[in-house]
């Protein structure tokens, strides 16, 4: 920080730097000596106003980055990493969050979980040395914040790297700056297919059987596999297989149809209820879902135009990376004259094709995020992501950035 505070070095926190993703050591119950220091840091940060759940307080600090050979990400112009430090507690459960880099989060805690046992990690729970250096820095920083919080907040707002911020950019602007972010190679074709698809009458069934479900699921799965962009499977791989053999081979719970009546609605319901938690309704495992529904079942939609009591299919997905796959499935269903309910997905994809929605930029990517205005999230690109420095500057300029939450001192009791 620009307060005459001696910036910590990456090596000063060496014990902590061993922890994090890749080592399965992101959450550590620390030993008694380390816990004592962590609780003192928490006490110091209680001089600040609460900023989040569990009485959380959060600060940004700068750490001098290691040599280039050991760097995990690009430092800022001053050669520093920015770490976010949070302390918090819930009842007798105390924890500290240390976040830095892409998908890097360390959690130090006194218990395995709320109400859990206190059994510290024998090898990696000894982080007292690093925490003592962090404590000395936090003590001085909190003193300065209590003296002049506006100076700290201005400094963070002016210097925090954009890779650590959240923002939102129009998809049209992002695609213009970096065409590689375009969702579809031929967006006009996508819109045309969806318009024709929505003109089809909804396909419905008086009863739902395994034979019916297997057939529709097969159409969707073959489209997913054979039209995949990077490693498409040849159509011949799936030919000359009956729906039953196909389903047993490729569905996660296809083998569980053995002994069931393929033409019985009762047996379909039995199979679905036994296996739905094991992703038996997924075309792409845990990503693209194809469910048979009717009134009174989960995923039912009151606005679907089918005869009362009839079944129909619902297609749903969330993770942006499967957008092209969902289009491929819907296009194939349209070619087969089969319409399923998937209006949410279609509306989302049309906005992407027409570039009328937004893209979130976030330091910790949420692959599932989307809403009525935002189609997906991305991380702020780095200059080693095959994107030029000028493109990065243009993205920064075109993005509306969310302001950092201000840090304020806690009012004194006398006040």
Contact 80, 164 (CB under 8 A): no
* Mean pLDDT value across residues 163-192: 97
Tokens of 240: 């000359």
What is d(CA 142, CA 344) in angstroms, rounded to the nearest whole number? 47
Mean predicted lDDT score pLDDT of the chain: 92
Within this chain, do residues 20 and 72 fall inside the same structural domain, yes or no? yes
* Mean pLDDT value across residues 389-408: 96
Within this chain, do residues 67 and 190 fall inside the same structural domain, yes or no? no
Within this chain, do residues 122 and 228 fall inside the same structural domain, yes or no? no
Q: How confident is the model at residue 415 (pLDDT cuts 50, 70, 90)?
A: very low
401 domain-assigned: no
Categorise residue 291: left if φ over 0, alpha if ψ from -120 to 50, beta otherwise: beta
- pLDDT attached to residue 386: 82
- pLDDT attached to residue 413: 55
Distances (CA, A) of 264 to 209, 212, 364: 5, 10, 47
Q: How confident is the model at residue 385 (pLDDT cuts 50, 70, 90)?
A: low
CB within 8 A of 194, min separation 6: which ones? 330, 346, 349, 350
Count the alpha carbons within 13 Å of 213 in the hemisphere toward its beta carbon. Answer: 32
Within this chain, do residues 139 and 178 fall inside the same structural domain, yes or no? no
Q: How confident is the model at residue 23 (pLDDT cuts 50, 70, 90)?
A: very low
Q: CA-based angle 37:43:46, to the nearest 5?
A: 145
403 domain-assigned: no
Within this chain, do residues 247 and 215 fall inside the same structural domain, yes or no? yes
Residue 94 main-chain phi, psi, to 5 deg:
-115, 140
412 domain-assigned: no
Within this chain, do residues 141 and 17 fall inside the same structural domain, yes or no? yes
Q: Determine the structural domain holding residue 48 and report its residue range.
A: 8-165
- pLDDT attached to residue 334: 98
Within this chain, do residues 27 and 104 fall inside the same structural domain, yes or no? yes
Q: Give the residue from 248, 276, 249 showing the smallest Cα distance to 262.
A: 248
Tokens of 94: 């105390």
Question: DSSP character for 72?
Answer: S
Contact 64, 47 (CB under 8 A): no
* Mean pLDDT value across residues 321-345: 97
Within this chain, do residues 186 and 147 fall inside the same structural domain, yes or no? no
Question: DSSP character for 52?
Answer: B
- pLDDT attached to residue 301: 74
Tokens of 67: 């040599």
Q: Total structural domains in the chain?
A: 2
- Quick check: 24 pLDDT over 50? no
pLDDT digits (tens, 9 = 90+) for 370-384: 999 999 999 998 776
* Mean pLDDT value across residues 187-208: 97
What do you get for the CA distance between the two ends of the chain, in Å? 29
Distances (CA, A) of 258 to 164, 213, 247, 253, 351: 52, 15, 11, 10, 43
Within this chain, do residues 160 and 186 fall inside the same structural domain, yes or no? no
Question: Which residue reads 């050669």 in tokens?
Answer: 79
Distances (CA, A) of 240 to 214, 254, 263: 15, 18, 22
């Amino acid at each position: 920080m620009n307060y005459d505070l001696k910036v910590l070095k990456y090596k000063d926190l060496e014990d902590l730097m061993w922890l994090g993703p890749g080592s399965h050591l992101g959450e550590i119950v620390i030993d008694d000596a380390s816990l004592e220091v962590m609780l003192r840091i928490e006490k110091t940060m209680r001089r600040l106003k609460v900023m989040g759940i569990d009485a959380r307080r959060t600060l940004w600090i700068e750490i001098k980055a290691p040599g280039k050979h050991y760097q995990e990400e690009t430092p800022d112009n001053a050669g520093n990493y920015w770490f976010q430090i949070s302390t918090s507690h819930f009842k007798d459960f105390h924890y500290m969050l240390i976040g830095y880099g892409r998908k890097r989060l360390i959690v130090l805690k006194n218990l395995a979980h709320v109400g859990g046992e206190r059994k510290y990690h024998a090898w990696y729970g000894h982080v007292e040395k690093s925490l003592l250096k962090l404590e000395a820095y936090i003590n001085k920083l909190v003193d300065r914040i209590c003296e002049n919080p506006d100076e700290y907040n201005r400094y963070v707002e002016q210097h925090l790297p954009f890779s650590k911020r959240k923002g939102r950019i129009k998809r049209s602007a992002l695609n213009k700056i970096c065409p590689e972010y375009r969702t579809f190679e031929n967006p006009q074709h996508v819109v045309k297919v969806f318009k024709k698809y929505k003109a089809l009458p909804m396909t419905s069934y008086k009863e739902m059987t395994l034979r019916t479900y297997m057939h529709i699921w097969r159409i969707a799965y073959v489209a997913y596999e054979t039209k995949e962009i990077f490693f498409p499977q040849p159509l011949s791989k799936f030919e000359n297989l009956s729906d039953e053999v196909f389903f047993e081979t490729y569905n996660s719970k296809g083998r569980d149809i053995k002994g069931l009546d393929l033409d019985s609605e009762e047996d379909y319901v039995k199979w679905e209820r036994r296996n739905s938690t094991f992703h038996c309704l997924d075309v792409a495992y845990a990503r693209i879902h194809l469910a048979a529904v009717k009134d009174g079942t989960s995923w039912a939609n009151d606005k679907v135009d089918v005869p009362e009591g009839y079944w129909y299919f619902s297609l749903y997905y969330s993770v942006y990376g499967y957008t092209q796959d969902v289009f491929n499935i819907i296009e194939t269903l349209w070619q087969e004259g089969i319409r399923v309910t998937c209006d949410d997905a279609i509306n989302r994809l049309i906005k992407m094709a027409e570039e009328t929605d937004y893209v979130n930029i976030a330091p910790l990517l949420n692959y599932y995020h989307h809403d009525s205005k935002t189609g997906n999230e991305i991380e702020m690109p780095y200059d080693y992501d095959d994107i030029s420095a000028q493109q990065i500057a243009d993205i920064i300029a075109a993005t509306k950035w969310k302001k950092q939450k201000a840090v304020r001192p806690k009012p004194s009791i006398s006040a």
